[in-house]
Amino acid sequence: MALIRSLRPAQWAKNLFVLAPLVFAQRLLDLDAAGAALAAFGAFCLASSTVYLINDLRDREEDRKHPLKRHRPIAAGDLSPPAALVAVGVFGAASLGAAFALGAATGTFTTVYLVLNLLYSLGLKNQVILDVMTLSLGFVLRVLAGAAAIGVGVSGWLILCTVFLSLFLAFSKRRHELILLADGAADQRQVLSHYSPTFLDQMINVVTASTVVSYALYAISDDTVKRFGTEALIYTELFVLFGVFRYLYLIYQRPDERNPTEVILRDPPFLINLALWGLSVLAIVYGGGDGWLATRLG
């Protein structure tokens, strides 16, 4: 169905950042907290789909010049602009309704996310550097909303890891677009005229190192060791390194016309590594030292 495709459900994986506070605050086995976090995740899925619809409506003419985006329902004529506008109103209202039902803070963060993305669509996407930082802030808002939904604070380390990881993904996406569109890049996305492969490679190098180092520092920080009762989280850095290196390998050595997010979600080595990282984190956070499970079984 054209409307379902326009919602881009494959991109909802980005909203898993909403669940990060639930896991690292050791509230995963708290049914009330888990329910609230999942509701916040659902609210952001609705919000992000609203944003995708708005972007596709505004960019439909440019999308028709893109080798892949021209197949999007609105650009291809499979979904009419009036129908898309109705969907924007319905999904936007539903996302805010669900978010505010979880509390004023969650609703506010969701509102800011929608407004920020509207500003992005209206002009911020054409401002070099600021375009990528705006996308990164969207991920931070996901984390903040997830924390607000379950009533916990957010670690500064979690914010740093989110910022650097989202910048890494955003700069990598810009590079993918620049290489894919080649000489027609600026015609399809204006801001790409301000980027070059060399410049983007430099930015990717900076945020790659920052992502890896910030996660390592978080894993060995005194607060982290005290909270989880173990220093074992540092060993999950191996999975982080493999995930980053695998992503870079796919971007540089096996370029694909598809969105990088879609590529990694179909890459077995990346998915296996992600699963192993997740299982390791859960075992350490909930079973290590004075962790939740160890405390209750002890």
Quick one: pLDDT at residue 187? 60
Spell out, as residue ranges, where the chain has pLDDT lower than 50. 291-298
- 6-41 pLDDT, tens digit per residue, is 888 888 889 999 999 999 989 988 999 999 999 999
Quick one: pLDDT at residue 292? 45
Quick one: pLDDT at residue 179? 82
Task: Output the pTM of the full model.
Answer: 0.87
- 145-186 pLDDT, tens digit per residue, is 999 999 998 888 889 999 999 999 999 988 888 887 766 665
Q: How far apart are CA 180 and CA 79, in angstroms?
A: 26
Quick one: pLDDT at residue 176? 84
286, 24 Cβ separation under 8 angstroms: no
128, 194 Cβ separation under 8 angstroms: yes
Q: Which of these, 236, 238, 270, lies nearest to 251 by C-alpha position?
A: 270
Query: In degrees, to the nearest 5, what angle opens at C-alpha 41 toward C-alphas 38 and 45?
Result: 140
- Class of the CATH domain delimited by 1-153: mainly alpha
37, 18 Cβ separation under 8 angstroms: yes
Q: How far apart are CA 241 and CA 264, in angstroms?
A: 15
Burial (CB count <10 Å: 0-12, 13-18, 19+), residue 133:
middle
